Amino acid sequence: MGERTSYTPGTFSWVDLNTPDQDGAKTFYQGLFGWTPDDRPVGDGVVYTMEQLRGKSVAAISPQMEDQRKMGLPPIWNSYVTVESADDSAARAGELGATVHAPPFDVMDVGRMAVIQDPQGAFFMIWQPKTTIGAELVNTPGAFCWNELYTSDLDAAKEFYSGLFGWEWQPFENSPDPYFVIMNNGKGNGGIRGLAEPDMPPNWLVYFVVEDIEQGLSKLGELGGQNMMGPVDIGVAKIAIVQDPQGGTFALYAGELQD
Return the CATH superfamily for domain 12-129: 2,3-Dihydroxybiphenyl 1,2-Dioxygenase, domain 1 (3.10.180.10)
- The residues that bridge with 204 in the sheet, in sequence order, are 149
β 76-82/123-129 pair status? parallel
Rounded to whole angstroms, the Cα distance separating 104 from 182 reads: 25
Q: Which residues of the chain have pLDDT under 50?
A: none
Cα dihedral angle (92, 94, 98, 102), rounded to 10 degrees? 100
Q: Tell whether the torsion through CA atoms of 226, 220, 240 and 15 is positive or negative.
A: positive
Intrachain domains 12-129 and 144-255 with the same fold: yes
Contact (Cβ atoms closer than 8 angstroms) between residue 216 and residue 208: no
pLDDT of 177: 84
Phi, psi of 217 (to 5 degrees): -70, -35
Q: Exposure string (b/e) for 93-127, b if CB count within 10 Å is 16 or more?
A: beeeebebeeebeeeeeebbbbbbebbbebbbbbb
210 contacts 141 by C-beta, under 8 angstroms: yes
Judged by DSSP in three states, 192 sits in strand
Question: What does the domain layout of the chain look like in residue ranges?
Answer: 12-129, 144-255
pLDDT at 199: 85
pLDDT given for residue 71 in this prediction? 66
144-255 maps to CATH 3.30.420.40: no
Spell out where the chain has E strands.
Answer: 12-19, 36-43, 46-53, 56-63, 76-82, 99-107, 111-117, 123-129, 144-151, 168-171, 179-184, 187-194, 203-209, 226-233, 237-243, 249-255
Burial class (CB in 10 A: 0-12, 13-18, 19+), 91: middle
Q: pLDDT at position 9, please?
A: 97
DSSP state for residue 212 in the 8-state scheme: -
Does this model's pTM top 0.75? yes
